[in-house]
Amino acid sequence: MAGGIRTDELAAGVVAGERRALARAITLVESTLPEHRTQALSLLEVLAPKAGRAMRVAISGTPGVGKSTFIERFGTHVIDDGNRIAVLAIDPSSTLSGGSILGDKTRMELLTRNEAAFIRPTPSGGTLGGVAARTREAILLCEAAGFDVVVVETVGVGQSETMAAQMTDMFVLLLAPAGGDELQGIKRGIIELADLILVNKADGDLVPIAAKAVGEYRLALQLIRPRSEHWSVPVSTCSALNDVGISDCWQTICEYRTVMHTHGEIAHRRASQAQAWLKSEINDALERRFRADPRVRARLKDIEAAVAKGTLPPTTAAQRLIDEFLNE
Ligand SMILES: Nc1nc2c(ncn2[C@@H]2O[C@H](COP(=O)(O)OP(=O)(O)OP(=O)(O)O)[C@@H](O)[C@H]2O)c(=O)[nH]1
Ligand SMILES: [Mg+2]
């Protein structure tokens, strides 16, 4: 019982769409205390049948490209269109520092105050894999709370884009208006993940540069294998600052949803994502058990030292520890 609240009460609050209950439920799934974890799992089990109805959208881009400004505007359009929107963030730097995206508080003020919106910063601490699992669970909770659109905001560094792509239906990539050398610097792998590319900050002096960048990204896209045979990735400009092109972006997302749903691709993506998630949960759980095992713990330090010194090959070392672990 986290903070003295019963699972059925919490579940009822979430299903009623209460933002406070949702926030509490997410805090519960983020907790690493064993008794909280047990309650979190039963909560997720109760709520799972109510999940799955939202459009799950990843919004990614390098630091400072305008993600928060964009989401603030975008969220307003989504809400004006009669929907409720939840925004979850993944910030790999916060897993290291224990902090979370502070600037967002100020840049999403409008959205934060809106009853139809729910904003949640990154789960802090833990491994990147742990953050991914908690974010996936948070998505389910937001869906159970009746949110129509769930945005996963992620900083385009490290593994976080791949992670965000693996838990959403659509990957929106925000890029800065630049070309030539800077375009070369964008990792090809990120472009490959994109279902929609937006060159932001297309305002003032940057308008022609943004337009040129659009042309270059379109060319770049021709060189890679499309993520789906039913969708050719649109590339366009927008200005989050001036609210230009943002409602078009929402229209494109709706169109994408219709097309991909019709071809069964959303269901297909979700099924393989769920299987991958299962696999990583099994791996994580096994590793946790392994590392907590007293026999393993007793020998691990010495074996690690021998491996570091080069006196024991890692393969042999791993095999020995695993044999030890599995021997009843
Ligand atoms: N000119 C212009 N500036 C913008 C636009 N969108 C965002 N900015 C500015 O760019 C800066 C960074 O914007 P954020 O929205 O915080 O960017 P972010 O991608 O969320 O940044 P991180 O959270 O630090 O990764 C701010 O000063 C914004 O005002 C835009 O469309 N045009
Ligand atoms: Mg931000």
72 CA distance to ligand 1 centroid (A)? 11
Answer for the pair 199, 235: CB distance below 8 angstroms, yes or no: yes
pLDDT tens by residue, the chain, 328 residues: 555 789 999 999 999 999 999 999 999 999 888 899 999 999 999 999 999 999 999 999 988 899 999 999 999 999 999 999 999 988 766 544 444 444 444 467 888 889 999 999 877 656 667 788 899 999 999 999 999 999 999 887 668 888 899 999 999 999 999 866 666 666 778 888 999 999 999 999 999 999 999 999 999 899 888 889 999 999 999 999 999 999 999 999 999 999 999 999 999 999 999 999 999 899 988 998 999 999 999 999 999 999 999 999 999 999 999 999 998 6
Answer whether 67 contacts ligand 1 (Cβ < 6 A): yes
Residue with tokens 């499309």: 226
User: How many angstroms separate the Cα of 142 from the Cα of each of 91, 109, 126, 187?
Assistant: 19, 20, 22, 31
246 CA distance to ligand 1 centroid (A)? 14
Q: Ligand 1, from 59, 68, 249: best to mutate by most atoms within 8 Å of Cβ?
A: 68
Contacts of 264 (CB under 8 A, 6+ apart): none
CA atoms within 13 A on the CB side of 274: 10
Answer whether 175 contacts ligand 1 (Cβ < 6 A): no
Domains annotated for the chain, with CATH where assigned, are: 1-50 (1.20.5.170), 52-263 (3.40.50.300), 277-326 (no CATH)
Give the span between the Cα atoms of 237 and 137, in whole angstroms: 33
Answer for the pair 212, 182: CB distance below 8 angstroms, yes or no: no
163 CA distance to ligand 2 centroid (A)? 17
103 CA distance to ligand 1 centroid (A)? 10
pLDDT at residue 102 in the model: 46
Smallest CA separation from ligand 1 atom 25, residue: 63
pLDDT at residue 179 in the model: 66
pLDDT at residue 94 in the model: 54
Contacts of 213 (CB under 8 A, 6+ apart): 175, 176, 177, 178, 179, 183, 199
Any idea what the Cα angle at residue 276 is, between residues 272 and 281, rounded to 5°? 145
pLDDT at residue 306 in the model: 96
Residue 266: how many other CB atoms lie within 10 Å: 18
Residue with tokens 């009843």: 328
User: How many angstroms separate the Cα of 76 from the Cα of each of 80, 90, 270?
Assistant: 6, 21, 27
User: How many angstroms separate the Cα of 51 from the Cα of each of 5, 138, 142, 214?
Assistant: 22, 11, 8, 36
Give the span between the Cα atoms of 206 and 210, in whole angstroms: 6
148 CA distance to ligand 2 centroid (A)? 22
User: How many angstroms separate the Cα of 88 from the Cα of each of 24, 132, 150?
Assistant: 14, 11, 7
Strand 55-61 and strand 235-237: the pairing is unpaired
Give the span between the Cα atoms of 89 and 152, in whole angstroms: 5
Residue 309: how many other CB atoms lie within 10 Å: 8
pLDDT at residue 184 in the model: 62
Any idea what the Cα angle at residue 25 is, between residues 161 and 56, rounded to 5°? 35
Q: Ligand 1, from 69, 207, 239: best to mutate by most atoms within 8 Å of Cβ?
A: 69
Beta strand residue intervals within 24-65, DSSP E: 55-61
With H, G, I as helix, E, B as strand and everything else as coil, classify residue 307: helix
Q: What secondary structure letter does DSSP report for 311?
A: S
Helix axes 7-15, 34-47, angle to 10 degrees: 40
Q: Residue 120's beta-bridge partner residues?
A: 88
- Ligand 2 ion: residues within 5 Å (CB): 67-68
pLDDT at residue 108 in the model: 79
Q: Residue 235's beta-bridge partner residues?
A: 197
Q: H-type helices in 238-293, by residue range?
A: 246-262, 265-292
Task: Tell me which residue of 95, 187, 84 sits closest to 133, measured CA to CA.
Answer: 95
Residue 125 backbone class (left: φ over 0; alpha: ψ -120 to 50; beta: rest): left
136 CA distance to ligand 2 centroid (A)? 20
Answer whether 52 contacts ligand 1 (Cβ < 6 A): no
Answer whether 154 contacts ligand 1 (Cβ < 6 A): no
